[in-house]
Structure 1
Amino acid sequence: MRWWVAVAWIEELFLKGEKRVDELEVYCFSGTSVSADLKQRRVSICSSSVESGLCIRTIDKGKIGSSSTNDPQQWQACLDAAIAGGRLATPQEWRGLPDPVALPKEDLAYDPSLTVEPAMAQELLHGMLDGAAAHPEASITSGGAGISLGEITFANSHGIRYASRQSEVSVSLEAISGQSTGYEFDHAFSRALVNPEKVGEQAAFLASRSAGGQDIPTGEYDIIFSPMAYADLLSAIFVPALSGRNVLQGRSKLAGRLGETIAAPLLSLYDDPHRKGADGSTWFDAEGTPTTRLDFVRAGVLTAFAYDLKTAYRAGKISTGSAIRGGFAGLPAIGHHNFVVDGKRDELFDEPAIYVHSVVGAHTANPMSGDFSVEMSNPFRVKDGALAEPIRGAMISGNFFDLQRQVTALGKESRSVGSYILPPVKVNNVRVIGK
């Protein structure tokens, strides 16, 4: 992939570092961004930033050290700190950093025509306000818009020299009507794929339409989880159980169950790192391992767990290219790139059900057992193929692992929710605690 003279200092870093440790890797980020925020209907703040950062990881006789800095020109001090930290580390099983391979040169989620300008951020905000005007009974409380361009440079002492570029445009809006609120967002790698008017209209609709909600008796109901609601529960409960680290440490309910049916046969879950235009798409992971599609659940059957290098070596496995970083200062850890929920698609609103736009409290769920109890946000009864009267003051409880067997249908259209790509999901016989 590309390699610029602008980061030629990395070669000097390797010349010095390889004389002191067995292996080392360099993760360098640079980017620009602009953001603007709404306070009610007025732009309260607009800011721009230029960011850069460097993380160095060293490995010597199985001891791993690391250090980071937001000034890559200070790489010598950063290298010294990483080596010093490694001397204090506990040795572990280690079989080497990855070797270079030929990777495609295409940037998977980058729009070269995108410009990082305050004017665009303000235009996005005004677009949301225009959309929200369709529901004048709702008032805007807050909102935001952002545009960013970033570039990652990755290198290691085995000769890897990779680089990739990403871009992102994001918008979000929150509205209120009486005691009811509504929230919506959108994000994509290109301005052309973001619809601020739709975001504004939907946030205002949810706030205004949820006002005057009715109580619902406690009982079991068929639930249609929106992509946002289902992604929140997936990320808090199910996805941690797919981590090879949690499997190795006995903290996954799915440990020892490869080959078993753990979900409805219509359900497949996989990580697709090569999906064109998706935010997490990449040809290599945060350790330089080439990425590939990873099928966790295929037609309801558990088929794989995710591994990074460190966990794979401990478990006697191979890395699945699942290492990610939470910023340039973060060390590699097991994660996913584009987590996709897929399967046969169907019409969800043709029978009575409860539609849940979002949930509150997913973070309080127990990822070991799968037990959860969350508040429904913007729930509606579904009648005659459409949203009917709103519901108030109700909660959903149960076991999320058990619910995967009760999935009966997936909606026809998927959307991106952070690193998740998924449709609405219908689950039968879910416990609802009402009044």
Structure 2
Amino acid sequence: MRTQVAIIGSGPSGLLLGQLLTEAGVDNIILDRVGKEYILGRVRAGVLEEGTVGLIDQAGAGARLRAEGLPHEGFSLAFDGRDHRIDLYGLTGGKRVMVYGQTEVTRDLMERREASGARTIYEAAKVTPHDFDTRLPFVTYEKDGSTHRMDCDFIAGCDGSHGPSRNAVPKSAIRVFEKIYPFGWLGILAEVAPVNHELIYANHPRGFALCSMRSATRSRYYLQCALDEKIEDWSDDRFWDELRRRLPAHHAEALITAPSFEKSIAPLRSFVAEPMRFGHLFLVGDAAHIVPPTGAKGLNLAASDVHYLFDGLREHYLDHSDAGIDAYSERALARVWKAVRFSWWMTTMMHRFPDTSEFDQRIQEAELDYLTHSRAASTALAENYVGLPF
């Protein structure tokens, strides 16, 4: 079997890259170790930058997003019992974000790929990239009891933090930067209307809270929690009571509750692997970097990686130039580190840390006060939140 680009991973980044390549006439095959239904059962973030939305449109998969997505022109920072709205649209000259679940993005890209006739191989076990430091890379995998080989020109590792792509790189060739945060997020999903039409990021003495949504009838809420917390210790009633405590009074009174249908605790970390290219192997998205979800950058960073890699591969095949693929790692990492900085800053500003001193707390309060009363500071927040240009 042969293809031009072998893509490992059929999450949003792999599907987006694959469909952009397909639309440009570049042959590609996607491999994933799990099945389609498992992938569609995963619940992930849903705040999309305009650049991400544009790439989905370019891939021919944006119709439902445009029809059903919720455009947001601002969000609230809540502290001292009050809301402070950040006017994204006004501060950035007309930019906004779109709230649309990652599962729906995945579904739309899958349907577009199937309609275009491009190939995806699900439930492919032991996927392994080989010889990517030569001009003859290939990928092996097991399916239906047999070992298969796929020869290719390039391998795109869109397989997440624990996938085989980064693990195939010699440890001596890669440098890792990591920060572990001393808390996690307890999150729930419930079939209720959101408490507010825009997101609320709350800083409270009891800890951070986030009120988000997946649609006009499905809400996603989070609470900062200790890393040793157990899901079974958090009944729905306990969660709703704690969320009310951390919100301004008018939001707490308006909160609609219902039984949750998904509940999880996620640790927070910042992680970057450098470089993002190793010969004919490219790392994309979570395979190369992880950010805490505070700044809504995870999926959007993966999309910007796809943008740079697609540009490079398109130039290689259509313009016979390797300038784009040679610059991929440098271009992607320049944007990655800016988003890592922003996510770290949002996380440190909005959460209560176990070792916070009285001095540290006063600095955090001064930061929030300055941010919400200075147009320059609010503009810096807004332009990072809606997404820096590719």
Larger radius of gyration: 1
Counting helix residues as a fraction of each chain, which structure ranks higher? 2
Whether TM-score is above 0.5 comes out as: no
TM-score (norm 1): 0.24
Counting strand residues as a fraction of each chain, which structure ranks higher? 1
